[in-house]
Chains A and B, each alone.
Chain A
Amino acid sequence: MTTSTSPAAAAVDPEAYLQVRDLKVQFPTEDGLVRAVDGVSFSVRRGQTLGIVGESGSGKSVTSMSILGLHNPARTKISGEISIGGQNIVGMKEEKIQKLRGKDVAMIFQDPLSALHPYYKVGAQIAEAYKVHHPSASKKEASTRAVDMLNRVGIPQPQRRANQYPHEFSGGMRQRAMIAMALVNDPALVIADEPTTALDVTVQAQILELLEDLQREFQSAIIMITHDLGVVSQVADDVLVMYAGRPVETGSVEQIMKRPQHPYTWGLLASVPSLHGDANVDLVPIKGNPPSLINLPTGCSFNPRCRYAGQNGNRSFSEVPELRPAGEDGHNVACHMSFETRQRLYAEDIAHAGVAQ
């Protein structure tokens, strides 16, 4: 996986199924231009999982909606390249994108209760997703396929369950049904936008496991969007950390979890309960709130919340840090501090807390 703020530097991975380069998504609003995504690049191969992490409001959902071409073109400015299986969908005609949606790229949403239609039976909703891309399939074939999928995602008595409404399912079962719907057309890419945020911890683990199993089976590429580094460490191969619409750190899951380089990533790590379940470790949430995407702080947009913003003279306040190689291959970070300073600070201040343990 390669990431860069400048498109020129974004290396092309010929084996990638999805290649996003220098994606910018802006919403002109009455209050001003919302720069929801500001120069993000990444790629995912089939069978691989990319975790996109960041606090709420950092542009994760906007990024995922772009990949499905779901933004209203009349109210959104999109630039850059989103190449799905070799086709760039930025600027593609709606009718053409429709053929990709739900077939080549499918999405699993955060809250399955609101994401499923309250008036239609679960089986019918899955069958509809199948039928739209298999117009020659009979009604019967589509509903058999729906029951099949419910069975595949581990829903007991799938035949009976298919005939129930979403509100009759438990949270975990509903998310399984959502996954069944997403996978009904064997998509090459699955985007899961905070799929476990609405679920309790035990169910969350089951759902993540299910996704991993299904990925092995279908060899799909997965983008796992979450604000929870714990989830990332469990399922991701590569990680993209986003802050205020920009990439701040990218690397393998090992690099991000064990040798993180960006103060924002440190903050995220410190605020997650230890993966080893050590409840005594104090959680240190990142102080302050994400900035307004209409008026980003000049320089590094993280500077109002960064303990180390003064370390580099005035640079953190005047110059936007570019994403640059952070030492190891594939590891990039957007911070003005030198490699040595980051190493030292991490060892001194961070390594003892939260997930980092």
Chain B
Amino acid sequence: MLRFLIKRLLLAATTLVAISIVTFLLFFAVPSSPAWTQCGRNCSPERIAQVEQSLGLDQPITKQYTDFVKGVFVGRTIDDAGTIRECTAPCLGYSFRSKEPVTDTIERSLPVTISIVAGAMVVFLTVGIGLGMLAALKKGTVFDRVAIGASVGFASTQTYTLGGVLLLLLVYSTGILPNPHYTPLTENPLDWAGGMLLPWITLGLINSALYARLSRAQMIETLQEDFVRTARAKGLSPRVVNRRHALRAAITPIITIAGVDLGAYLGGVVITESVFSLNGIGREAAQAVSDLNLPLVMATVLLAAFFIVAMNIIVDMLYAVIDPRVRLG
């Protein structure tokens, strides 16, 4: 277990370093300069050089990269056009655009994304897995067909279509739900939930559809396993057979997928955030890319990569806990 963890952590660190280097290189490979986005199209070359200097972009790439790494671990001083700023570790630099520390941007936007994802996940894990499992147990019945039909429908819907329609129906025309907004959970839990309901429903439903189909397929396969037949042959009731024997085995791969999905979503749910105008990490990242806002791009990319890598390690460990046949190493 410990060996596995050390191995995976080393691998994770290497991955993150590699990703940070690639992002850096890609950024400089783009035939455009953040300075242009800062001072407009008719900017004089002198002005551009000035801006670039103030952003530190006049330095060699290697120097910029090592500065960045140094900032993350020990902090650094940044000379912004004469203003000397002390950036303490973990320093991710200052946003080219808003000039605020990138860590502040992250601190502000990450809770929004986490709120969206957490609620949506509760929706799609319960509704999706629940419906899928039920459909599998009632395979071939009307219930099964309706559930599968609905899930095919929802799964082929795009977030912005469903989100837009729901927004129109539930907010603009009827006012059943409040306009999506973010209030910190600690400030006002009710308002937090109220503002998040629509994104939860939208992201939740679309993913429920996927998870329902996945769970159904998984459960149908598991119900045909020999060990399920053994459980029935013991004289166990269908309830016990389904729950203790079939469900337990069928749900394992789904938990894995959910964990991986969670890792991917925590890095930002761009479309959901955009549709509902919520300033989560995904929106910040998209904006940073179009602004060529290097420090924020680096931060959001690395954060997304971190979540994915971390969830993968957690999922692998979880798998070993659930399935005794899995040996870590």
A98-B237, A99-B235 known; A118-B227 Cβ under 8 A: yes
Q: How far is the CA of A238 from the CA of B226 in the complex (A)?
A: 28
Would you list which residues of chain B between 274 and 329 have a CB under 8 Å from chain A?
Answer: 322-325
Q: How many A residues touch B, CB cutoff 8 Å? A: 26
Would you list which residues of chain A between 173 and 193 have a CB under 8 Å from chain B?
Answer: 181
Would you list which residues of chain A between 157 and 200 have a CB under 8 Å from chain B?
Answer: 165, 167, 181
Q: Does B181 contact A (CB under 8 A)?
A: no
B227 to chain A: which residues have CB within 8 Å?
114-118
Q: Does B233 contact A (CB under 8 A)?
A: yes
A114-B225, A116-B227 known; A101-B248 Cβ under 8 A: no
Q: Does A106 contact B (CB under 8 A)?
A: yes
Find out whether the CB atom of B324 lies under 8 angstroms from the CB atom of A106: no
B238 to chain A: which residues have CB within 8 Å?
94
B57: min CB distance to chain A, Å: 56
Find out whether the CB atom of A129 lies under 8 angstroms from the CB atom of B245: no
Q: Does A102 contact B (CB under 8 A)?
A: yes
Find out whether the CB atom of B324 lies under 8 angstroms from the CB atom of A102: no
Q: Does A259 contact B (CB under 8 A)?
A: no
Q: A165 is contacted by which of B232, B237, B248, B325 (Cβ under 8 Å)?
A: B325
Find out whether the CB atom of A117 lies under 8 angstroms from the CB atom of B245: yes
Q: How many B residues touch A, CB cutoff 8 Å? A: 21
Would you list which residues of chain B between 133 and 163 have a CB under 8 Å from chain A?
Answer: none
Q: Does A42 contact B (CB under 8 A)?
A: no
Find out whether the CB atom of B234 lies under 8 angstroms from the CB atom of A102: yes
B203: min CB distance to chain A, Å: 31
Find out whether the CB atom of B237 lies under 8 angstroms from the CB atom of A117: no
Would you list which residues of chain B between 218 and 241 have a CB under 8 Å from chain A?
Answer: 225-227, 229-238, 240
B226 to chain A: which residues have CB within 8 Å?
109, 111, 114-115
Find out whether the CB atom of B233 lies under 8 angstroms from the CB atom of A118: no
A114-B225, A165-B325 known; A100-B245 Cβ under 8 A: no
A114-B226, A119-B323, A167-B324 known; A68-B233 Cβ under 8 A: yes
Q: Does A70 contact B (CB under 8 A)?
A: yes
Q: Does B249 contact A (CB under 8 A)?
A: yes
A114-B227, A115-B226, A118-B227 known; A101-B324 Cβ under 8 A: no
Q: Does A35 contact B (CB under 8 A)?
A: no
Q: Does A45 contact B (CB under 8 A)?
A: no
Q: Does A128 contact B (CB under 8 A)?
A: yes
Q: B236 is contacted by which of A100, A118, A132, A181 (Cβ under 8 Å)?
A: A132
Q: A70-B232, A114-B226, A116-B230 are in contact. List 5 more A-B contacts (CB 8 A).
A: A102-B236, A115-B227, A118-B324, A128-B236, A132-B240
Can you offer 6 A-B residue contacts whose CB atoms are under 8 A? Answer: A98-B235, A101-B235, A102-B233, A102-B234, A119-B248, A181-B234
Q: Which B residues are within 8 Å of any A CB, using their own CB?
A: 225-227, 229-238, 240, 245, 248-249, 322-325
